[in-house]
Amino acid sequence: MARLVYERADLLPLLGEVFREHGFEGASLAVISRRTGLGKGSLYHFFPGGKEEMAAAVLAHVDHWFETQVFRPLREEPDGRRAITAMLEATDAYFRSGRRVCVVGVFALAESRDRFAVKVASYFSAWIDALAGALGRAGHPPDDARALSEEAVGLIQGALVLARALDDPAPFARTLARLKARLVPERPAP
């Protein structure tokens, strides 16, 4: 058989999609095997810890993506408005304008939250912290910035739930547009 996967890292995007679509409980080794094209032998070769290790690797992979593409720019870009605009664009791209849900959110709602409690919690708190900082640099008063950041991150997650529930990505797109207007108004925040 042709060798399609050369590295463990090549598997992570595929595994990510499987867990995103099925959740942890619903992602059976059978569907993982089918979607990756790898037998159990290969899967356990790359992930001796089994399904739990696969899910942990996916969470770490997602966290790393957001850390480098979203959180760090939010923290380090001196221009707060530019940082927030970039975050909204990256978010829109990552979630495919609402056609993709958040695997961390999926894990958070189900039983699997307890198993991955630390990673799930740190993902959201890192996002809120980084965005609050950028909002502060964009001119929002510190007290507002924190509340606004929490609201924005929650709004994104809620819009993903809504988009999936209604089977329509439009609510997510509208939410991002409203968020942009609120977080980065045409005239800098008072």
Partner DNA sequence: CCTTAATTGTACCGATCAGTACATTCTGTA
Partner DNA sequence: TACAGAATGTACTGATCGGTACAATTAAGG
Q: Residue numbers of the site for DNA (CB under 7 A)? A: 1, 3, 5, 27-31, 37-42, 44-46, 48, 50-52
Residue 147 contact among DNA, a second copy, none, beta carbon within 5 to 8 Å by kind:
a second copy
Separation of alpha carbons 124 and 127, rounded Å: 5
Q: How far is CA 132 from CA 35, 107, 141, in A?
A: 38, 24, 10
The interface region with a second copy, picked from 65-73, 85-93, 135-143, 173-181 by CB under 8 A, is: 173-181
Distance CA 92, CA 48 (A): 34
**Among candidate residues 149, 150, 170, 148, the one with its CA nearest the CA of residue 159:** 170
Best CA proximity match to 8, nearest among 77, 74, 66, 54: 54
Q: How far is the CB of 70 from a second copy (least distance, A)?
A: 16
- Compute how many residues bind a second copy; rule: CB under 8 A: 41
Answer whether 32's CB lies under 8 Å from 5's CB: no
Residue 44 binding: pick among a second copy, DNA, none (C-beta 5-8 Å cut-off by kind): DNA
Binding residues for a second copy (CB under 8 A): 21-23, 25-26, 101, 104-106, 108-111, 113, 117, 120-121, 123-125, 147, 150-151, 153-162, 164-167, 171, 174-175, 178
